[in-house]
Structure 1
């Protein structure tokens, strides 16, 4: 029976993909606030008898303190394991028995949970989902077990060049800012966590006033409001969580070389970039596709890989966050080619900033970005994640409807101006793991 219900919901999920484009064509995001102060974003879609719900909180790793780094991630992790007096097996079976799927998300800014269920099973699904949100247990035995597992993962990460490079890079970009904290924590801070830390973090960060509730699927507005009120009412009723402090721009260039026996050197370089809702978002987004986000058609790939064969892959991206997220360039190259490769990357970026893009490059980038956009919203689950982003970062309700128009309207002058003002290669932080 469990397998049948799970198969049924997966088949319905696949069918939803065929309906997503028609939903998006007339996407109507309804927004309101619950009596307890939670923001709600809802899209009604009766194509199939399913619903997707997520609840997000400002409870990511940037809300940790250096002394308890890892508490945010551990709190979110344990909430999904044991709740409302139900052990792990019972809680898991509650969802599996009705074919419901519990998921989650966690990053520096936010932590959350999501639920997919047949609407015919929504009462049981919501009852169990509410236990996860409202009554996490944080048992000592489970905490100790997960501490050991996470510490083992952190120990392994300390041997992997990609992990070493990423951690050092974030510290080079952010110094003592909370964005420098590792999402999993540090070995010593994770080992020092106790149940009181997790309960305190939950009470302070999983408040109704901080919650963003997103819903999409076979629900009427009245049903959606009832569900949102139910989820909001059971949350801690403390104040809204304080905002993450602003990020400071880099004043000077830095370079950090870390030894490693890997066959190739792993290189990361960049700076704090932009944040959600940034007025330069679309010029930077389109421009970066030309610089290093467009794969084989990007300038970095053309110069570093195609012309000189210094790396198999080289990329760049902006990761907007609540405050300035990273602008990152990454590549791997032979150890004896590090200086040559790094010099070429910096020259390519500087030339991009100084001389800008051409009309031909811009049009090709816009065509590719607009043409690929439907794949980013081809399911209710993907649209739900955009509802989360719109709600959490207070983006316009027409963000999805206007996305392609915003891309299409970007001009050469806007791209060139934005990169001149916002990107400063002379101040980049550089991390090289495996340099000779």
Structure 2
């Protein structure tokens, strides 16, 4: 689990939904069902200014959900100005144009709509939910455009949010899990932009100035990297007008943006952190997983059996059910443009930390060597395929998928072919992928609060 910065829990939570649209949740066992197309008709096109637009029409309700995302996440921070991207994205809706923060809240409330800015690791932007009727949608779009194009970045608001961030950071630094996740991110991404936020401290927070936010916004909030995702009661012609309205006033010229560097991987490191808590927190991890990874499905589906399948997973069976070391243990994979983390996390009694870590490594090692059994694979397929339609059964859920498909240039039939690719996997394919990609001795390890 990658460390996330302290700024604005609302903004961070909003981005989680966007960034992890295709992470596999633990769900109750589903009955096996035939694999079929979900018939998600994604219309997509590119505007002259470079912006990409993705639309799924859903006319059952008079609602529309819109996400306007830019390549302006924290990965665009400079090493000597950590946190600028977070504030630049999250503070856009805290005063813009002639509107104060309170004015924006009041307009949203009066219209009964949502217009909120957010900041994340790879993307930042604005999310909108509105009735589709013109008398509501048009002023909502005007408000969103003002937020996107004319953020005030008032010194008093920045100071208030910095004070909150410092307080939040100090509180979090008493939490073993927070310390463990931060230490793991430092091991996995010591000098890479994916890990800059793990070096955040009071000094870096206080060093951010209004001019930094203004400069960042001018450089990165440009149509050339924008992905506009739209789900709801709207047709293509209307969506084209919406996209034009939202981006009007942003710099339309294109500039060269530096590519995101590949992640240099260094494994086999261990960090131990003393902590007075009665529970120790254990974390194992390594950057391994890209969004376009050729082993994407074998790794993702195999991870369900290892640690993402809740009480069905091997880690839960071995660490909780058989030995009582923990209430919960799980593993996750974070697909990013460059290598995201494979990670395992759990809490246990201090006296059990050494044994729990040993057993965890044994479970991973055995799984890499043997892969899932046929029964385990069929159980994983039944859960994933059976529960898949529920992962885009609302406009908001589908919007997250569209943002992911657009930002990472995934094919338009991604949702329709997802379960087909899952269903086609064999135990041998999963075993071979895990053997190629995961070496237990290469995993970095963090122990917070273990016994000396």
If the length of structure 1 is used for normalisation, what is the TM-score?
0.92
Query: Could you tell me which of 219, 238, 249 is aligned with 2:234?
Result: 219
Q: Which residue of 2 aligns with 1:134?
A: 149
Deviation at 1:240, TM superposition (A): 5.2
User: How far 1:232 sits from its partner (Å)?
Assistant: 2.6
Partner of 2:385: 370
Report the 3-state secondary structure (helix = DSSP H, G, I; strand = E; otherwise coil) of the residue aligned with 1:370.
helix
Q: Counterparts of 1:23-102 in structure 2 under 5 Å?
A: 25-102=38-115
C-alpha distance 240-375 of structure 1, shift in aligned 2 (>3 A): farther
Equivalent-residue separation in structure 2 for 1:430 and 1:31 (angstroms): 43
Q: Which residue of 2 aligns with 1:248?
A: 264
Q: Structure 1, residues 392-420: CA drift from partner, whole Å, max 9, x if none?
A: 11111111111111111111111011100
Q: Does 1:161 align with 2:205?
A: no
User: CA–CA distance in 1 between the matches of 2:257 and 2:287?
Assistant: 23
What does residue 375 of structure 2 align with?
360
> What residue in structure 1 maps to residue 7 of structure 2?
none
Residue-by-residue CA offset, 1:89-147 (whole Å, 9 max, x unaligned): 11111111111112344321111211000112111100101001111111111111111
Question: What SS class does the counterpart of residue 79 from structure 1 fall into?
Answer: coil
CA distance in 2, matches of 1:139, 1:273: 40
> For residues 270 and 184 of structure 1, what CA distance do their matches in structure 2 show?
18
Q: Which moved more, 1:64-73 or 1:381-390?
A: 64-73
Aligned counterparts of 2:435 and 2:83: Cα–Cα separation in 1: 37
Aligned partners of 1:83 and 1:137 also within 8 Å: yes
For the residue of structure 1 that corresponds to 2:50, the secondary structure is: coil
Query: Larger % of helix: which?
Result: 1
Q: Contact (CA 8 Å) 1:40, 1:228: kept in 2 or not?
A: yes
Once the two structures are overlaid, the 10-residue window that deviates more, 155-164 or 360-369, is 155-164
Equivalence map 1:330-369=2 (5 Å): 330-369=345-384
Unaligned residue ranges in structure 2 (runs of 5+): 1-36
TM-score, normalised on structure 2?
A: 0.89
Q: 1:285 aligns with which of 296, 300, 324?
A: 300
Are the structure 2 counterparts of residues 270 and 357 from structure 1 closer, same or farther at C-alpha, using a change threshold of 3 Å? same
Cα 1:240–1:225, aligned 2, differ >3 Å: closer, same or farther? farther
> Mapping of 1:227-238 within 5 angstroms?
227-237=242-252, 238=254
Residues 55 and 213, structure 1, Cα contact 8 Å, conserved in 2: yes
Task: Determine helix, strand or coil for the equivalent of 2:111.
Answer: coil
Cα distance between partner residues in 1 of 2:192 and 2:38: 41
Counterpart in 2 of 1:261? Answer: 276
